[in-house]
Amino acid sequence: MEASADIAAPPAWVAGLRRNDAATVRTLYQKHFPAIRQYVLQNSGTGNDAQDMFQEAMTVLWMSVKEGRLVPDTDPGGFLYRVAKNKWLDVVRSAARKHMKVVHSEQVLDHRADATDDIEERIVRLRGVYDKLDDKCRTVLDQFYFERKDLATIAAGMGVEEESIRTIKYRCMMKLRAFRRTISGEDQQAI
């Protein structure tokens, strides 16, 4: 999972995240979650808080890979730890948790060093787009775009014809395209 000696090829974990590979996600979890868990538990958090922070950090890492925003030779463990830690510090500093004791508060400085704020804003915006999809569209689109299954495989799994899946996919994507007109700021780009 570490960086390859071959300069042209991305590290295996980057290639894995790029193709939404479940084994890569599990490996990153097993390898890097314990450090984040330890940090959150040391700083008044629970195991569930640690899971939340890790999940958020993994989403930021995945999006950074998808957007080609990672600095070469990025260490995934360091990246995940910094993002999760900064997110936890944000939680701890929030009004509801003012009473908590925070260890290593000087590391707040890391918050700016990662510069993932715009990625995080983008994640929030894209979640809003995904939320517009109904369950039946998600069933088909997830399999095609996320799991990268071909139309014939999806059709066989759902017991329908390939042409039907192709039509459903087109219609669902057109629904999404229409929804996008309502998202703020998008209307200004109308041609």
Closest CB to other proteins among residues 48, 184: 48
Cβ within 8 Å of residue 31, ≥6 positions away: 1, 77
**Which residue of 59, 74, 107, 153 would you call a contact of other proteins, by CB under 8 A?**
59
**Which residue of 14, 40, 53, 58 would you call a contact of other proteins, by CB under 8 A?**
58
Closest CB to other proteins among residues 55, 105: 55
For the CB of residue 12, give the shortest distance to other proteins in the complex, in Å: 18
> 160: phi > 0 → left, psi -120 to 50 → alpha, else beta; which?
beta
Closest CB to other proteins among residues 108, 173: 173
Query: In this structure, what token pair is assigned to residue 138?
Result: 């998600």
Query: By CB under 8 A, is residue 190 in contact with other proteins?
Result: yes
Between CA 107 and CA 160 the distance in angstroms is: 54
* Cβ-defined contacts of 76-81 (< 8 Å, 24+): 76/1, 76/13, 76/28, 76/32, 77/31, 77/32, 77/35, 79/114, 80/28, 80/32, 80/36, 80/54, 81/32, 81/35, 81/36, 81/39, 81/57
Q: Distance between the two ends of the chain, CA-based, in angstroms? A: 45
* Size, binding site for other proteins by CB under 8 A: 52
Query: By CB under 8 A, is residue 22 in contact with other proteins?
Result: yes
Between CA 23 and CA 19 the distance in angstroms is: 11
Residues 161-180 that bind other proteins (CB under 8 A): 161, 163-164, 167-168, 170-171, 173-174, 176-177, 180
Query: By CB under 8 A, is residue 123 in contact with other proteins?
Result: yes
Query: By CB under 8 A, is residue 181 in contact with other proteins?
Result: yes
Residue pair 35/23 in contact by the 8 Å Cβ criterion: no
Residues 61-100 that bind other proteins (CB under 8 A): 62-63, 66
Give the binding site for other proteins (CB under 8 A): 20, 22, 25-26, 29-30, 33, 47-48, 51, 54-55, 58-59, 62-63, 66, 123, 126-127, 129-130, 133, 136, 138-142, 145-147, 158-161, 163-164, 167-168, 170-171, 173-174, 176-177, 180-181, 186, 189-191
